[in-house]
Structure 1
Amino acid sequence: MTELRGVGIGLGVAQGPVVRMTEAMPAPQNTASTLGADAERTRAREAVAAVAQELTARGATAGGSAQEVLEAQAMIAEDPTLQDEIDERLNAGGTAEWAVHDAFAGFRATLEAVGGYLGERAADLDDIAQRVLARLRGVDAPGVPDPGHPFVLVARDLAPADTALLDLEKVLALVTFDGGPTSHTAILAREKGIVAIVGAAAAADLATGQTVIVDAAAGIVTADPSDKEKNRAAERAAARLSADAAPLTPGALADGTRIALLANLGKPADAADAVARGAEGVGLFRTEFLFLSSAQAPTIAQQRESYRELLAAFPGKKVVVRMLDAGADKPLAFLNDSHEENPALGLRGLRALRASEDILREQLTALAEADAETDADLWVMAPMVATVEETVYFTTLAREYGLKTAGVMVEVPSSALLADRVLAHADFASIGTNDLTQYTMAADRLLGSVAGFQDPWHPAVLRLVREVGAAGARLGKPVGICGEAAADPLLAVVLIGLGATSLSMAPSALADVRRILATRTLDEARSLAEAALAADDAASARTAVTTLAATLPQH
């Protein structure tokens, strides 16, 4: 029996035989075309168009975050700049296969050099290129195998197109040797409720057919387990299924302290699933879906209808809507499409909205009109707030439109360190742990080369969360968490111990978080938080909390 360690996603446990991900196809040779440039160009463009269409179709089938990711991939595949690069190689006498391979490789290097949002998209190019090559060669694209029986999928990492459409009747669990807790694989696995462990480097040595137990709660893959271990894992899995079938209850700690469990949503159509899973409202509604697929800003009427649909799904419940969070890292021609050397530190979030205040005012108008037509408790918040002055600007403007509850996202260390002054003007704060970690650790959260720094368990990040929690308690203002950290059940307890009063996450994570909160009192949550703060790094914090939790009584 061998134990391999990684980062678990959720609290699930599963067991079964390993099936390794199909390896990538070899690169084509640079040989002269026998068909001519025009024929090769037709082949290349038809293959690219077919792949883009397939990615879009997969996204429509998958829905949720996966749809956004796959639609972005489809846009990359048909990028005019990339097409020009392919044509250049075809005009030089190359084959479509070589032109696609070399152009994608060159484009990948360019995006990696840019970094930020575009740097992250570079990793997607490998999967797109492989799919186009497979189409040109008339073979199946490398992807998730189908051995005809349930299995544990082991891979270096998964492309979004593969993760989005995993057959959950066949894939018992997912193990990757690359990636981290905020990677696309981890986010999509959490959204789909897949038992997963990411970043388990030693899993590269697992062989197809080998039996493993994947324990996400412990972050351990057990290879060649004993019968006793397999029976214990089966009992835990059965108990978890039974708990999932239990009646839904509001989020609360073991001592009765209420902790609202809310949903992160990307579009109104996602509301029904969140309600079915027991979401007590919405802690983060991302409005970007209305803007990112448009050549121009949506009208007030178009926005109002989407907001009304969302609010109508949560009568009497809190719905927190984030204003458009876009800018140079996600260029919008009607907002800000100018080049910036470091877009993560550029004109984004509220900064971009202030530069185009008409868009912000139109959003507020549409939200106020939708609020007047529905019975939800609407809260609005501004993204990327860094100063007290920005807080005053947004909350004053929101109240000008009759929106009674206006708050800010705490994603920048400055707003966390000045949380008492920020909350003197804002009605609430919502901590976006993904960006807060990025800016605290000076590690772009979309750049794979520094993914190891992007861990919300880091004590430096947790200290900032404590600052906001303490300010909220002193001023009687709610402090929510709406980043990926809230979906990590053990970390969720720590966040409550640091002063968070609500947690918002992907709907599929609600059951696990609800379950673990019910096993801990507020005093215990505070003790676990102190253990995490006393550590020197993220891994030590996670280990310290896991060790202490094992010694505490189960309620």
Structure 2
Amino acid sequence: MGERASSGLERSEAVRTAETAEYEGVGVGTAAVAGPVARMGQAPPEPPDVPAAGDPAEECAKALAALAAVAADLRARGTAAGGATADVLEAQAMIAEDPELADGVRSRTDAGKTAARAVHETFAVFHETFAALGDYMAGRVADLDDIAARAVAVASGVPVPGPPCREEPYVLLAADLAPADTALLDRRLVLALVTAEGGPTSHTAILARAMGIPAVVGAAGVLALTDGTPVLVDAAAGTVVAHPSTEAMEAAIARCCADAAAAALTGPGRTSDGTPVKLLANIGGPEDVPAALVSGAEGVGLFRTEFLYLDTDEPPTFDAQVKIYKEVFDAFGEDTRVVVRTLDAGADKPLPFVRLGEEPNPALGVRGLRAFRAFGGRNEAILRTQLLAIREAAGTSAPEVWVMAPMVDEVTEAEWFCELAAACGLDVAGGRVGIMVETPASALTAGAILAGRTGFASIGTNDLTQYTMAADRVLGAVGALQDPWHPAVLQLIGAAGSAGAAAGKPLGVCGEAAADPLLACVLVGLGVRSLSMAPSAIAEVRAALAARSLEDCTAMAARAAGSATAWDARKAALRS
């Protein structure tokens, strides 16, 4: 980390000629790096609407070849990157191959449009359609625009937009970054990512965290910087400083070196005064377990079971579920915990066999636990089979297996889930059946919920922030509001934390917020006693906690929750 922080220092000193300017955004990671700016290549201009000089069939073939080339390139990038990135890019490649796109291109080239213009106009129609659908599809508009820009560039015979070609380390600057651009960045050259748009749950933020590249996203005004401008990117502070002073750079670099030494710590998570804080991993299936084990995770805080149910017209069988669950459980030993989230259906995860009916606003509709209680319980058998499979798989496994239901809002829902879990043989009396706190309602009534049979609660900060701020978590236009640092969100977490302490029942966090080392300390100060995150974030979170006492965390939390804005909350938490 020390080497990464110092790269570009000499160059920055040599070209400092302008006044220092500071831009504020959302930081990803804790590193600070210095280096020259290199801007992302721009999308091609809109093709002129002029009649094609060539034969319509030739123009059509050129346009379709461009779409095929883009799909192939996206798949190749995904194969090279692997993991979650491969899934994202596969989804983009499938869009490029959509038959409706091909039909739109044919009709327009038949009408005399050029290949590039036909591609542009066809994607424009898709853009409007996606934007009008709301929720998940509206959140994919940025991905659609990226595919369109690539296809238009290929059809026009101009360079495809993307990262610059550089032989020396640089800070990549862009309005936003598409997954395809982020996937194959050369980590030896890209010191940091800086974007003017996006938020803490944007693709850029998620992929930067997974790749271990420090980033500042949503830094308004930063596009005023020109190529070669020396900058100091401080992910921990969420700032980008142009023409920084030598003193500022040295202070940031010194802090990073100290953080790097602290990150070498191993063992269970705890504060400097010994308060235990379990550090757990978020996983989607057996393929994610090795990374969790290597990171030193004390178990799993969020086992997303949706992957078993996707891309199929029928729910997985009891035996198929037992096999997968047992494979995950058996990978962990005694004194560890695996928390399984039951199927989170609905909203942006529709399933053909979970019949929910038509909904004008799925994010506020029948999703999570509601999907199995609504409509007279017609979907309840799916959840019952899952609970029985979890019980069977947990029977001879070493770790403690806990189960929690998503999207629970009130006592009656929590009690219904506990009753069903008990009927399926799960350990309700032992406190191993709980709920997710994802709405203001469940945060504010957590005291009543935890006073009953519910054994624990885990806060999903992504959804809690979405519902608190009335800002769709996948809609880029409101990405700046999707910030778990907002004092309203912190106050709700604090209310749940107080309820957990009063009931003597554990409270955890399993959203993206847990991966932010500074925010992790604030969460502990609000009463959270377990943090579940991407395995790659565990070392930095462990180090951040080890550097602060519980009293420090509590003071940080009070300052942050009492602030006016998310940005003020970050600044307040940093203040000693």
Which TM-score bucket, shorter chain as reference? over 0.9
Report the secondary structure of 2:140's partner residue: helix
Q: Deviations over 1:127-164 (max 9, x none)?
A: 11122223334554211122122211111110012222
Q: Residues of 2 paired with 1:191 and 1:304: CA distance?
A: 29
Q: Residues of 2 paired with 1:295 and 1:135: CA distance?
A: 37
Q: 1:237 to 1:467 in 2, by over 3 A?
A: closer
Kindly indicate whether residue 479 of structure 2 is the aligned counterpart of residue 462 of structure 1. no
Q: How does 1:93-492 map to 2 (within 5 A)?
A: 93-244=112-263, 246-316=264-334, 317-336=336-355, 338-354=357-373, 355-404=378-427, 405-423=432-450, 424-492=452-520
Q: Residues of 1 paired with 2:278 and 2:220: CA distance?
A: 36
Instruction: Using the TM superposition, name which of 219-228 and 250-259 deviates more.
Output: 219-228
Q: Residues of 1 paired with 2:63 and 2:329: CA distance?
A: 46
Instruction: Using the TM superposition, name which of 536-545 and 97-106 deviates more.
Output: 536-545
Q: Deviations over 1:24-55 (max 9, x none)?
A: 11121223345555544444444334433433
Q: Residues of 1 paired with 2:46 and 2:185: CA distance?
A: 26
User: How far 1:271 sits from its partner (Å)?
Assistant: 1.6
Report the secondary structure of 2:244's partner residue: coil
Runs of 5+ consecutive residues of structure 1 not aligned to the other structure: 551-555
Report the secondary structure of 2:221's partner residue: helix
- 2:3 maps to which residue? none
- 1:522 maps to which residue? 550
Q: 1:59 to 1:347 in 2, by over 3 A?
A: farther
Q: Residues of 2 paired with 1:240 and 1:211: CA distance?
A: 23
User: How far 1:478 sits from its partner (Å)?
Assistant: 0.9
Q: Deviations over 1:161-204 (max 9, x none)?
A: 22222221111111111112221111211122211111112321
Q: 1:51 to 1:300 in 2, by over 3 A?
A: farther
Number of matched residues?
547
Superposition TM-score, scaled by structure 2 size: 0.89
Q: Deviations over 1:506-542 (max 9, x none)?
A: 1222122111111222222222222222223322222
Q: Residues of 1 paired with 2:381 and 2:109: CA distance?
A: 46
User: How far 1:434 sits from its partner (Å)?
Assistant: 0.9
**C-alpha RMSD of the superposition:** 2.2
User: How far 1:373 sits from its partner (Å)?
Assistant: 4.7
Q: Residues of 1 paired with 2:328 and 2:403: CA distance?
A: 13
- Give the partner amino acid of 2:324: S
Instruction: Using the TM superposition, name which of 221-230 and 21-30 deviates more.
Output: 221-230
Instruction: Using the TM superposition, name which of 511-520 and 226-235 deviates more.
Output: 226-235
- 1:553 maps to which residue? none
Report the secondary structure of 1:15's partner residue: strand
Q: 1:84 to 1:183 in 2, by over 3 A?
A: same
Q: 1:357 to 1:484 in 2, by over 3 A?
A: same
Q: 1:92 aligns with which of 111, 131, 142?
A: 111
Q: 1:323 to 1:42 in 2, by over 3 A?
A: farther
Q: State whether residues 327 and 336 of structure 1, in contact with CA within 8 Å, keep that contact through their aligned partners in structure 2.
A: no
Instruction: Using the TM superposition, name which of 278-287 and 47-56 deviates more.
Output: 47-56
User: How far 1:110 sits from its partner (Å)?
Assistant: 1.9
- 2:13 maps to which residue? none
Report the secondary structure of 2:551's partner residue: helix
Q: Deviations over 1:267-314 (max 9, x none)?
A: 321221122122111111212222233344333333333222222222
Superposition TM-score, scaled by structure 1 size: 0.93
- Give the partner amino acid of 1:379: W
Q: 1:229 to 1:537 in 2, by over 3 A?
A: closer
Q: Deviations over 1:396-425 (max 9, x none)?
A: 222322232211111011111211222222
Q: State whether residues 237 and 571 of structure 2, in contact with CA within 8 Å, keep that contact through their aligned partners in structure 1.
A: no
Q: 1:59 aligns with which of 64, 78, 83?
A: 78
- 1:496 maps to which residue? 524
Q: 1:10 aligns with which of 7, 10, 29?
A: 29
Q: Residues of 2 paired with 1:353 and 1:505: CA distance?
A: 27
- Give the partner amino acid of 1:477: K
Q: Deviations over 1:361-396 (max 9, x none)?
A: 332233223223532221111111122222122222
- Give the partner amino acid of 2:447: D
Q: 1:189 to 1:22 in 2, by over 3 A?
A: same
Q: Residues of 2 paired with 1:522 and 1:196: CA distance?
A: 28
User: How far 1:67 sits from its partner (Å)?
Assistant: 3.1
Report the secondary structure of 2:139's partner residue: helix
- 1:536 maps to which residue? 564
Q: State whether residues 4 and 221 of structure 1, in contact with CA within 8 Å, keep that contact through their aligned partners in structure 2.
A: yes
Q: Residues of 2 paired with 1:227 and 1:535: CA distance?
A: 31
Q: Residues of 1 paired with 2:361 and 2:573: CA distance?
A: 36
Q: Residues of 2 paired with 1:259 and 1:247: CA distance?
A: 14
- Give the partner amino acid of 1:545: A
Q: Residues of 1 paired with 2:314 and 2:155: CA distance?
A: 35
Q: Residues of 1 paired with 2:318 and 2:68: CA distance?
A: 34
- Give the partner amino acid of 1:408: I
Q: 1:517 to 1:475 in 2, by over 3 A?
A: same
Report the secondary structure of 2:560's partner residue: helix
